[in-house]
């Protein structure tokens, strides 16, 4: 299974925004405006339209932990629907199983949720699903295995009774349900999806 390795804070500094890649937001924000590299502190030249589109695409890849091939396939799938391509693309990303596990508060980061899923700790309608890119649908119930609930960081998260989840999801203890598809307003990642559409439609 292909995955991105390396320093996560460097990715956030490259974009200039907290991408939710680390659990310690204070540590991330301390150097968020300092670009990585030897000359990171120097003023960079004015960006181009293409550079802005590329940065937005890279931001989405970093946030959701997807690779270029995966993102392009989702984009092509989104273009085949009558709805807005950008909104459908974000909806498809939100409906990834690893993201849903994170949104339900079962994992501290999307990367942790992806690992839990790949290791077989996630259940969909009672059946083990170990594919992080699995797209959930309305009515499906997401839960954790007994072993998954005993992971220390997960056990601490499950103690949070008032955990806020997006309106398209429902959570009761260690069980979540997809009540409907996500709306654009419920995707709070600070993404300009139109720039991504413009990048791929070049």
State mean pLDDT over 95-119: 94
State mean pLDDT over 35-52: 67
Tell me how far apart the alpha carbons of residues 71 and 73 are, in angstroms, rounded to a whole number.
5
Which has the closest alpha carbon to 142: 109, 105, 92, 110? Answer: 105
- pTM given for the model: 0.80
Same domain, 163 and 101: yes
Same domain, 103 and 133: yes
Question: In percent, how much of the chain has pLDDT > 90?
Answer: 60
Mean pLDDT of the chain, nearest integer:
84
Asked if the model's pLDDT at residue 43 lies above 70, the reply is no
Asked if the model's pLDDT at residue 202 lies above 90, the reply is no
Q: Are 148 and 154 in contact (CB under 8 A)?
A: yes
Alpha helices in the chain (DSSP H): 8-15, 25-30, 49-64, 68-79, 85-94, 97-103, 110-118, 146-149, 152-158, 193-200
Same domain, 103 and 58: no
Does residue 1 belong to any structural domain of this protein? no
pLDDT tens for 8-33 read 565 555 555 555 555 555 555 555 56
Nearest 5°: the CA angle 48, 197, 187 is 105
Give 118's pLDDT tier (boundaries 50, 70, 90).
Answer: very high
Starting at the edge strand found earlier in the chain, the sheet holding 141-144 runs 127-128, 122-124, 141-144, 175-178, 169-172
Does residue 2 belong to any structural domain of this protein? no
Same domain, 75 and 102: no
pLDDT of residue 32: 55
**Most confident option among 16-30, 39-53, 125-139, 173-187:** 125-139
Nearest 5°: the CA angle 22, 186, 70 is 60
Burial of residue 91 (CB within 10 Å: 0-12, 13-18, 19+) is buried
Which CATH number belongs to the domain containing residue 53 in this structure? 1.10.1050.10
Question: In percent, how much of the chain has pLDDT > 70?
Answer: 77
67: DSSP letter: -
Lowest mean pLDDT among 5-19, 75-89, 104-118: 5-19
Residues in contact with 192: Cβ distance below 8 Å, sequence separation at least 6, in sequence order? 56
Same domain, 56 and 86: yes
Give 146's pLDDT tier (boundaries 50, 70, 90).
Answer: very high
Lowest mean pLDDT among 27-41, 75-89, 175-189: 27-41
Same domain, 84 and 37: yes
Does residue 148 belong to any structural domain of this protein? yes
- Domain holding 139, by residue range, is 96-180
Does residue 3 belong to any structural domain of this protein? no
Same domain, 86 and 100: no
pLDDT tens for 106-115 read 999 999 999 9
Same domain, 115 and 169: yes
Same domain, 12 and 37: yes
Tell me how far apart the alpha carbons of residues 132 and 102 are, in angstroms, rounded to a whole number.
11
Same domain, 40 and 86: yes
Tell me how far apart the alpha carbons of residues 138 and 117 are, in angstroms, rounded to a whole number.
19
Report helix, strand or coil for 184. Answer: helix
Tell me how far apart the alpha carbons of residues 17 and 59 are, in angstroms, rounded to a whole number.
9
pLDDT of residue 47: 73
Give 149's pLDDT tier (boundaries 50, 70, 90).
Answer: very high
Which has the closest alpha carbon to 26: 38, 40, 9? Answer: 9
Count of domains for the chain? 2
Give 170's pLDDT tier (boundaries 50, 70, 90).
Answer: very high
Same domain, 153 and 121: yes
């Amino acid at each position: 299974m292909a995955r991105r390795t390396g320093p996560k804070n460097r990715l956030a500094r490259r974009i200039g925004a907290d991408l939710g890649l680390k659990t310690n937001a204070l540590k991330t924000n301390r150097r968020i405006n300092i670009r990585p590299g030897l000359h990171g502190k120097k003023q960079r030249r004015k960006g181009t339209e293409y550079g802005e589109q590329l940065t937005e695409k890279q931001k989405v890849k970093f946030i959701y932990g997807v690779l270029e091939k995966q993102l392009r396939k989702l984009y092509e799938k989104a273009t085949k629907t009558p709805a807005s391509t950008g909104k459908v693309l974000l909806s498809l990303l939100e409906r990834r199983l690893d993201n849903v596990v994170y949104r339900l508060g079962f994992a501290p980061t999307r990367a942790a949720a992806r690992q839990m899923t790949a290791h077989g700790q996630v259940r969909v309608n009672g059946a083990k699903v170990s594919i992080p890119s699995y797209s959930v649908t309305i009515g499906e119930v997401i839960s954790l295995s007994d072993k998954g609930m005993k992971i220390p960081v997960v056990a601490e998260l499950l103690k949070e009774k008032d955990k806020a989840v997006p309106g398209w999801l429902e959570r009761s203890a260690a069980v979540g349900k997809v009540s409907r598809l996500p709306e654009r307003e419920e995707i709070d990642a600070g993404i300009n999806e139109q720039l991504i559409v413009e990048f791929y439609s070049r």
